[in-house]
Chains A and B, each alone.
Chain A
């Protein structure tokens, strides 16, 4: 080999080696998961779950924006004494769901995990899987978004007087559905094979941690279809989990698509979420034996939050 070639090869290898060293250093010093447990929340909007006293959250809700728009943990507590937390994030992928659960299980022992089904139809790409694997070696790949928290709070309010909604996102906006009953091509509805695999994986993870997985479809005029219902029912049977589709329960969850949606039928607003949560509470009381924690001293703070929540509704304004 020519001397010049050897020199260039050494140069290239040196560049790559130093780069790996820098990424490793960055992962360990700035973006590590161990340095602060709450940083393991992946997203600032759900890190509150780590502030809950250990093993006090009995129901964990995961999924995308359909979840945090439809289910109100504070109302579940008020009505049934069930402590829950909504670890939902915008556009959540099942690979994220699995990662979130894995991390939360280290701090909480929920008895029920509710997976809202909209995320099941969001395809987990090879990119997501690769990034996850890379994140296992270099945490900067997973936690890089925490740069927003360096020297600040990542946009999350630190206002002590503000109500902790336990992951729910409050909205009283009303934007009626344009058109209902839009027929969707049943045949075109598919659950990607990798997503199916992730649902199985999530089920296994829940089993290992003593939690019962339930698939729940929150009401959504825009996202629901008969085809989706059929695919989900088949998947639930295959995996061996319960499946509840609120879209078919118009008597129990009487959504009025003129008043109960904030964005033309995509997501529920507070009025719709109240109905969905009331149903979920009833369902859980009948199908899962969860403790009533309203008098549990470790959950005292929940009562304060419920009062704050009602004050906020009274004022009828979103949290600024």
Chain B
């Protein structure tokens, strides 16, 4: 037996989940203890070593991708910095016109470096993530034309978290290019920023300016951070172990065997998948942010109670926030700010007014964003459809906003009243659930068939005890899912209207505080879907 397999290194290791016992009982306490005991100067190296060790556990030799990405963006950053310094020196004593010409030349040079970084990172993603998809589709075209040739469908092992750390790496290069941050000469700091172990599997996608300095600064662990981080971790654990993992067997059965399910069951499957995805991803984010909090590093939030959104556009500002922000800052803005789009906007403004004028250029950028967003999630047509579905919904939302406002005014409807807002939230949630059905489906065709069955064959006849037994669920499971979702909902309502629940609990007497945390721990311990009869479920977003 090799050392790697003994230590469980590589793709098969179950430590991708923060809630696997080997992570939270062994790895995390050891990482925290070592960090606390090591003198200040060594803490950052400890954290970096722990991060690489963690990544090696989950990805084995594929850690090479992370190392290569780190090294290349480090040197791209330094290269950009050199060009920027050269530019400053060269243009310092020139007149305005000459400075403008020279600046343009240097800008081109910088842009070439940025493009090189983009091509390198996106190129790697294209090869490991999308080459199989392209080959399959090329073969489909050949087959449609009865061409007697086919291309080999390549199979590549995809490093866990590559879609996350690639975006993070690119954001650093782009931020250096735009002068948002200075290029970092310290390879270790950049390496820790990209590899910090809580965030490498599923994000959040941090910006260099948000976390790099704090991570490298390495503050001593404080009691308050430790307890608050642990509380956040625990809440995430409840979401993932009690709800998300419990629903997995039901969701897998419905999506893999939808042919034997009627429309009602498929609709329930779509709803429960949406619940599972939210509990899984936001639960993992609670863990990530909680662990980072223990180390004294504030991480950007990735969720802000998305199901309170009134529109799809708002939903995407509350769901996977850091991905949306990445596409907004590095794709949407650059496209809308390009010369061609600016021209288009100003001429459209004159012809179709101030609302619809900018919408034209905005829609082009929006299309690019949602195509990329769909593809980022996976290499299949259902992901492209998922992106386009949201593009169309957001576009429609923008198009009908003025007439809706006009109708509301005419009918004296107050759009801020609770029933109206509630209806908007329900409508948004329904649209999101439909989108998630296509997102989770095993291909676009399956998604369309499932949706068709949901609409044309809506019945609940197959929704019986035998069905639940088949997927290993019973009424007890559904009841506990309901109770936990109600707890999360109550917490969300409090956060939405009043503020932090942890602060609220923290202000109570120690007996009440401890009772609440003990209750939560024992709740997860007893009602968690782990151990006998449950296969551990990897974090759903880790596969992207």
Beta-carbon contact of B476 and A131 below 8 Å:
no
Asked whether B525 lies within 8 Å of A144 as measured between CB atoms, the reply is yes
Tell whether, in the assembled complex, residue A131 and residue B531 are in contact, meaning their CB atoms are under 8 Å apart: yes
Q: Is B535 an interface residue (CB 8 A)?
A: yes
B511-544 to A contact mask, C-beta < 8 Å, 1/0: 0001001100110011110111111100000000
Distance in angstroms from A220 CB to nearest chain B CB is 15
Q: Of the 9-residue stretches A16-24, A71-79, A232-240, A243-251, which lies at the interface with chain B?
A: A16-24
Bound Cα distance A99, B466 (Å): 27
Contact pick for B533, options A18, A91, A263, CB 8 Å: A91
Chain A interface residue number, banded: 35 or more
A43 touches B533 (CB 8 A): yes
Given contacts A19-B521, A175-B260, contact A130 B535 (CB under 8 A): no
Q: In chain B between 409 and 459, which residues have their CB closer than 8 angstroms to a CB of chain A?
A: none
User: CB of B8 within 8 A of chain A?
Assistant: yes
User: B514 touching A15 by the CB < 8 A rule?
Assistant: yes
CB neighbours of B14 from chain A (8 A): 125-127
Give Cα A123–Cα B11 distance, bound, in whole angstroms. 12
Contact A142 B531 (CB under 8 A): yes
The answer on a CB contact under 8 Å between B532 and A145 is: yes
B522: chain A residues at CB < 8 Å are 22-23, 26
The answer to whether the Cβ of B25 comes within 8 Å of any Cβ in the partner chain is yes
Could you say which residues of chain A place their CB within 8 Å of the CB of B525?
23, 26, 140-141, 144
Bound Cα distance from A169 to B471, whole angstroms: 13
Residues of chain A from 91 to 146 with CB closer than 8 A to chain B in the complex:
91, 93, 96, 99, 122-123, 125-128, 130-131, 134-135, 140-142, 144-145
Interface residue? A152 (CB, 8 A): yes
Tell whether A210 is near chain B: CB-to-CB under 8 Å. Answer: no
Asked if A193 is at the interface of the complex by the 8 Å CB criterion, the answer is yes
Which partner residue on chain B sits nearest A95 by CB separation? B532
For residue A31, which residues in chain B have a CB less than 8 angstroms away from its CB?
526
With contact pairs A96-B532, A126-B14, A155-B475 given, residues A147 and B22 touching in the complex (Cβ less than 8 Å): no
B223 close to A (CB within 8 Å) = yes
Are A134 and B526 in contact, with the CB atoms below 8 A?
Answer: no
Q: Interface size of B by Cβ–Cβ distance < 8 Å? A: 43
* Residue numbers in B under 8 Å from A90 (CB-CB): 249, 472, 533
In the complex, what residues of B have CB within 8 A of residue A134's CB?
21
A213 proximal to B (CB < 8 A): no
- How far apart sit A43 and B22, CA to CA, in the bound complex (Å)? 24
Residues of B within 8 A of A147 (CB): 476, 526-527
Residue A60 CB within 8 A of the other chain: no
**Nearest residue in B to A30 (C-beta to C-beta)?**
B526
- A89 adjacent to chain B (CB < 8 Å): yes
Give complex CA distance A193, B6 in Å: 9
Residues of A within 8 A of B20 (CB): 125-127
- Asked if residues B531 and A144 are in contact (CB atoms below 8 Å), the reply is yes
From residue B526, how far is it (CB to closest CB) to chain A in Å?
Answer: 5
B531's partner among A141, A148, A154 (CB-CB below 8 A) is: A141
Closest to B474 in A: A155
Chain A, Cβ-Cβ closest to B473: A155
B528: nearest residue on chain A (CB-CB)? Answer: A144
- Near B by CB (< 8 A), chain A positions 1-46 give 8, 12, 15, 18-19, 22-23, 26, 31, 42-43
Rounded to whole Å, the gap between the CB of A90 and the closest CB of chain B is 5
Q: Does B465 sit at the interface, judged by CB under 8 A?
A: yes
Is there an interface contact between A318 and B466, defined as CB atoms closer than 8 Å?
yes
CB pair A22 B518 closer than 8 Å: yes
Task: Find B466's partner among A19, A145, A320 (CB 8 Å cutoff).
Answer: A320
Task: Tell me the number of A-to-B contacts counted with CB atoms below 8 Å.
Answer: 104
Q: How far is the CA of A8 from the CA of B8 in the complex (A)?
A: 36
Task: Output the nearest chain B residue to A127 by Cβ-Cβ distance.
Answer: B20
Residue of B nearest to A23 (CB): B525
Contact B21 A130 (CB under 8 A): yes
Q: In whole Å, how far is B516's beta carbon from the nearest beta carbon of chain A? A: 12
| Cα A134 to Cα B464 with chains together (Å) | 36
Nearest chain-A residue to B529 (Cβ)? A145
Q: Check if B1 sits within 8 Å of A155, measured CB to CB.
A: no
A22: which B residues are within 8 A, CB to CB?
A: 518, 522
**Residue numbers in A under 8 Å from B499 (CB-CB):** none
A127 to B475, CA, bound (A): 27
C-alpha gap A175/B261 in the complex (Å) = 13
User: Which residues of A sit under 8 angstroms from B475, Cβ to Cβ?
Assistant: 155
In the assembled complex, A242 has its CB within 8 A of some CB on chain B:
no
Interface string of B241-264 (1 = CB under 8 A from A): 000000001000000010110000
CA distance A141 to B477 in the complex (A): 18
Complex CA distance for A128 and B521, rounded to whole angstroms? 20
What B residues does A127 contact at CB under 8 A?
14, 20-22, 530, 536
Cα–Cα distance between A148 and B532 once the two chains are bound (Å): 14
| A5 → B minimal CB distance (Å) | 8
Interface assignment of A192: CB less than 8 Å from any CB of chain B: yes
Query: Is B34 positioned at the interface, with any CB of A under 8 Å from its CB?
Result: no
A55 to B489, CA, bound (A): 52
Known: A19-B521, A193-B1, A320-B465. A123 touches B531 (CB 8 A): no
Of residues B474, B525, B530, which shows the largest number of chain A Cβ atoms within 10 Å of its Cβ?
A: B525
With beta carbons under 8 angstroms apart, the residue of A89, A154, A263 that contacts B476 is A154
Q: Which of B6, B521, B522 has the most CB of A within 10 A?
A: B522
With A90-B472, A134-B21, A145-B533 in contact, is A263–B521 under 8 Å at CB? no
A123 to B12, CA, bound (A): 9
Residues of B within 8 A of A126 (CB): 8, 13-15, 20-22
Q: Does B338 touch A at the CB level, under 8 Å?
A: no
A234 to B372, CA, bound (A): 48
B5 touches A (CB below 8 Å): yes
Chain A residue contacts of B477, Cβ below 8 A: 148
A38 to chain B, nearest CB (A): 15
Which residue of chain B is the closest to A134 with respect to CB atoms? Answer: B21
Whose C-beta in chain A lies nearest to the C-beta of B480? A147
Tell whether, in the assembled complex, residue B531 and residue A130 are in contact, meaning their CB atoms are under 8 Å apart. Answer: no
B259: chain A residues at CB < 8 Å are: 175
Closest partner residue, chain A, to B1 (CB atom): A193
Shortest beta-carbon distance from A166 to chain B in Å: 17
Task: Please name all residues of chain B whose beta carbon is closer than 8 Å to the beta carbon of A131 when the two chains form the complex.
Answer: 21, 530-531
Question: Contacts of A15 on B, CB cut-off 8 Å?
Answer: 514, 517
* Interface of chain A residues 166 through 202 with chain B (CB within 8 A): 169, 173, 175, 192-193
Chain B, residues 4-30, CB within 8 Å of chain A (1/0): the string is: 011010001111000011100110000
CA distance A24 to B22 in the complex (A): 21
Contacts A96-B532, A126-B22 hold; do A144 and B526 have CB atoms under 8 A apart? yes
In the complex, how many angstroms separate the beta carbon of A116 from the nearest chain B beta carbon?
17
CB distance from B508 to the nearest CB of A (A): 15
Residues of chain A contacted by B531 (CB below 8 angstroms): 128, 131, 135, 141-142, 144-145
Residues of A bordering B, CB below 8 Å: 8, 12, 15, 18-19, 22-23, 26, 31, 42-43, 89-91, 93, 96, 99, 122-123, 125-128, 130-131, 134-135, 140-142, 144-145, 147-148, 152, 154-155, 169, 173, 175, 192-193, 263, 318, 320
Additional pairs, 6, CB under 8 Å, beyond known A43-B532, A90-B472: A22-B518, A89-B533, A90-B249, A130-B25, A144-B528, A192-B12
CB<8 Å pairs between A and B, sample of 28? A12-B223, A19-B518, A19-B521, A23-B522, A42-B533, A43-B532, A43-B533, A90-B249, A91-B533, A91-B534, A96-B532, A125-B8, A126-B8, A127-B21, A128-B531, A135-B531, A140-B525, A140-B526, A144-B528, A144-B531, A148-B476, A152-B476, A155-B469, A173-B260, A175-B259, A193-B5, A263-B257, A320-B466
Question: Which 8 A-B pairs have CB atoms at the shortest separation, nearest pair first?
Answer: A155-B474, A125-B14, A130-B21, A148-B476, A127-B20, A8-B223, A126-B22, A91-B535
